[in-house]
């Protein structure tokens, strides 16, 4: 689809009015500090916003500034990240703080190119920080926003090419309210315009939405009845679960203390534990000592 359409002013007004009454009250939405917003966006990736909000309060108390985070030991950052999952995000954020101190004098940059030069910051995070912290009229497109905009203008998420959708997202931003607009689209996608069983009746975009007027809505509300789906593998059997448990075990040890990994964890035998630990070490999430006869030893990185 070469022309994804546009978002009329009346639709913008309806979405912003809905957000004013129904937007989620999240603690990190009360700040305009670019660093605090960068931390919140790093946390909210692949984590429920409410859980990220609770962790954000604790994290900001421990690392209240870019300089404080950059000066911290990575082990301390990983401990503070406990409960959020995807621990690589913690190290990326720590590395980003170091880059900000070294290259930008300790101030989070406002330009998209500079933001995207930071470890762990991609197009979505860069645009979210630019819109929320600096008031730039750019559209942050995550999974929720992609679904909302694609359904409104084209009737479905597969109908708009990524480049076209980004142009639409940028053009749709009200120049005077980029922050509220960004939050509003995220909230609509998270609470109303869900992948399955969307609540189109409560959505402020319904009068303009091609998806809401299509048969797809009816199908979405009944899909799954009587359908037999293959059960997903139990989470405890996955390498992601094992990696998280290894990092959690190391979090419990004092700084610089080695932990011997010579036993099974969950249903994973010692060989699988060693494979997972070595993979974590390659990513910089743990340090290994393989010289001990007692077995492989690991700790959180101390520098």
Q: What is the pLDDT of residues 263-284, one digit of tens each?
A: 889 888 888 888 888 889 988 8
pTM score of the predicted model: 0.80
Which two structure tokens, joined as six digits, stand for 54? 């609770």
Confidence of residue 183 (pLDDT cuts 50, 70, 90): very high
Is the per-residue pLDDT at 224 higher than 70? no
Phi, psi angle pair for 25, to nearest 5°: -90, 95
The Cα–Cα gap between 132 and 119 comes to: 19
Answer whether residue 53 shows pLDDT above 60.
Answer: yes
C-alpha closest to that of 262 among 271, 251, 253: 271
Catalytic choice (30, 41, 54, 252) = 41
CATH 1.10.340.30 fits 9-202, yes or no: yes
Using 50, 70 and 90 to split pLDDT, how confident is the model at 296?
confident
Q: Which two tokens stand for residue 103?
A: 């290259």
Q: Where are the domains of the chain?
A: 9-202, 235-299
Whether 231 shows a pLDDT value over 70: the answer reads no
277 vs 117, residue with greater confidence = 117
Confidence of residue 216 (pLDDT cuts 50, 70, 90): low
User: What confidence category does residue 170 fall into, taking pLDDT thresholds of 50, 70 and 90?
Assistant: very high
Any idea which architecture 235-299 has in CATH? Orthogonal Bundle (1.10)
What are the CA-CA distances from residue 33 to residues 38, 130, 134, 281, 282 (Å)? 9, 11, 9, 33, 33
Report the pLDDT averaged over residues 123-144: 96
Per-residue pLDDT band for 302 (boundaries 50, 70, 90) equals confident
**Can 116 be counted among the known catalytic residues?**
no
SS3 208: helix
Average pLDDT over residues 227-238: 56
């Amino acid at each position: 689809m070469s022309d994804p359409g546009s978002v009329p002013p009346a639709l913008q007004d309806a979405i912003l009015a809905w957000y004013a009454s129904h937007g989620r009250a999240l603690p990190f939405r009360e700040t305009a500090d670019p660093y605090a917003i960068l931390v919140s966006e790093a946390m909210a990736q692949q984590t429920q916003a409410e859980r990220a909000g609770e962790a954000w309060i604790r994290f900001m108390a421990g690392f209240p500034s870019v300089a404080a985070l950059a000066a911290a030991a990575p082990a301390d950052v990983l401990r503070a990240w406990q409960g959020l999952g995807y621990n690589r995000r913690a190290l990326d954020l720590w590395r980003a703080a170091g880059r900000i101190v070294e290259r930008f004098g300790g101030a989070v940059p406002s330009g998209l190119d500079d933001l995207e030069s930071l470890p762990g910051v991609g197009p979505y995070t860069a645009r979210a920080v630019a819109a929320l912290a600096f008031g730039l009229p750019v559209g942050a497109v995550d999974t929720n926003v992609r679904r909302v905009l694609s359904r409104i203008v084209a009737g479905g998420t597969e109908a708009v090419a990524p480049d076209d959708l980004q142009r639409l997202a940028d053009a749709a931003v009200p120049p005077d309210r980029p922050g509220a607009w960004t939050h509003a689209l995220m909230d609509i996608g998270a609470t109303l315009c869900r992948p399955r069983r969307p609540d189109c009746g409560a959505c402020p975009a319904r009068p303009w939405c091609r998806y809401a007027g299509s048969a797809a809505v009816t199908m979405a509300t009944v899909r799954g009845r009587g359908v037999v789906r293959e059960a997903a593998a139990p989470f405890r059997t996955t390498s992601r679960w094992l990696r998280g448990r290894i990092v959690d075990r190391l979090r419990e040890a004092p700084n610089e203390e080695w932990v011997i990994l010579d036993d099974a964890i969950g249903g994973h035998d010692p060989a699988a534990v060693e494979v997972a630990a070595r993979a974590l070490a390659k990513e910089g999430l743990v340090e290994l000592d393989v010289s001990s006869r007692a077995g492989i030893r690991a700790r959180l990185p101390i520098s």
